[in-house]
Amino acid sequence: MLIQACAVPIVDIPTPTAVPEKFTQSGTSPLQEHWWLAFNDPQLNQLIDQALNNNFSLLSTFNRLQQAEAIAIKQSADLIPSISAAFGGEQSYSNLGDSSRFAFGLNASYEVDLWGRLRAQKHAAELDVRVAEENLNTAAISLSSEVAIAWYRLIGRRSQLHLLKQQIKTNQDNVEITLSRFAGSQASAADLFQQQQTLQATIGDQNDVLATIQVLQNQLAILTGNTPGMFDISSDKRLPELPPLPKTGLGSELIQRRPDLRLAYFRVQAADQRTASAIADRFPKLSLSANIDATAPNLQSLFNNWIATLAGNLILPIVDGGRRVAEVERNRAVAAESLNDYASTIQQAIKEVEDALAQEYQQHELINSLNIQYSFSQKANTQIRLRYMYGAIDFLRVLTTQINQQTLERSRISAQRQLIEYRIHLYRSLAGSWPLPDYQDKTAKNKEQHDG
């Protein structure tokens, strides 16, 4: 894989690990470029649009891309001759008379890239730009998925809050009923205390949900570039139905589509180019220089007297204590490391797809089980309350059934929210890049605001 000669072509890197032809599951729905549109949720669309335009961490990632582009321009400049000019003048005064002297110099220097060292450095810097571009695309995918997860967690918690308010009302009614039965000697004090404890436990759950709602709103504020405490998003939206399962495609398509895999690929190529540069650095360097100098007592005759010099320097490393050899070995190790990282990233990407598919499948099974359990709990609750009214069973059975039914109601909401989250994981693991906003103007405006 590593460059073994003086030429520095950008070589294609074979896939360093086995890739499955297809995934264990696949749907029929096309995978959209903007994957979140599958949920048909205008508020989610708006939140992700705000995040992609205003998130400061994403803007910082764009700034790192700008840095890589500037470095690439600097590296390209080494392949172009450097030319500089100097002009000076002086005026002398003495008792013998006044005198003037003007001087002009033009200097040019150029390193002949005999072994491709400078070209390899240039290619490496250009590949670093590709790495930074894919890093920005990867960050955008992560950000969009974080927004979607936080948004549906918020909706799920609000749904639970709505349910808890209903359960608190039910438990308050049960306390009143138990209190009335206690007054008529039809229920014990223990029955009343247990029902009151259940009511307070439900109120405690409500307090916990209220705190989580505020935390999620703060998280969405940060993700969308807003300040927590100054951002409020009201919605009575319920958790959506799950969109159809998307086509997962081929394993080879995933490698071409995911920006984090392209990022790892470009890192391997950049390391390969730096190895070539280190090898070329062991060979002689040839540099050329040219100078034109002119002096005269006045500007009119400045170019009447001039001298030109052309020089060449050949520098051959002889003794450096093994520094250049060590640098070659270091770069080879970096290239090997980046290749292993590339293989690991591919395996992790495939794992993420398979994990999301397996989790979604099992979550469907869990939801079916919870629905069946809830149906049985409703029937059991009705029968047990009737038997309790006739004195056939004690109050503990009633309370246990009531708590179980209310817990199942909340679990069904949590399970549906988790199912959506697993689908978001699947979309994120399959997602490719899409055109991003023009961050150039945004960073310029931020700088103007800071300077102002």
Q: What is the pLDDT of residues 49-67, one digit of tens each?
A: 999 999 999 999 999 999 9
Contact 274, 124 (CB under 8 A): yes
Q: Is 175 exposed, middle or buried (0-12, 13-18, 19+ CB in 10 A)?
A: middle
Contact 48, 136 (CB under 8 A): no
Does residue 72 carry a pLDDT above 60? yes
**pLDDT score for 11:** 63
Does residue 6 carry a pLDDT above 50? no
**pLDDT score for 1:** 36
- What superfamily does domain 35-79+116-281+337-451 belong to in CATH? Outer membrane efflux proteins (OEP) (1.20.1600.10)
Say how far apart CA 315 and CA 311 lie, in whole Å.
13
pLDDT tens digit string along 182-234?
898 888 899 899 999 999 999 999 999 999 999 999 999 999 999 998 888 88
Indicate the average pLDDT of the chain: 90
Provide mean pLDDT across the span 82-104. 77
Q: Is 290 exposed, middle or buried (0-12, 13-18, 19+ CB in 10 A)?
A: middle
pTM for the model stands at 0.89
Say how far apart CA 188 and CA 361 lie, in whole Å.
47
Provide mean pLDDT across the span 324-344. 96
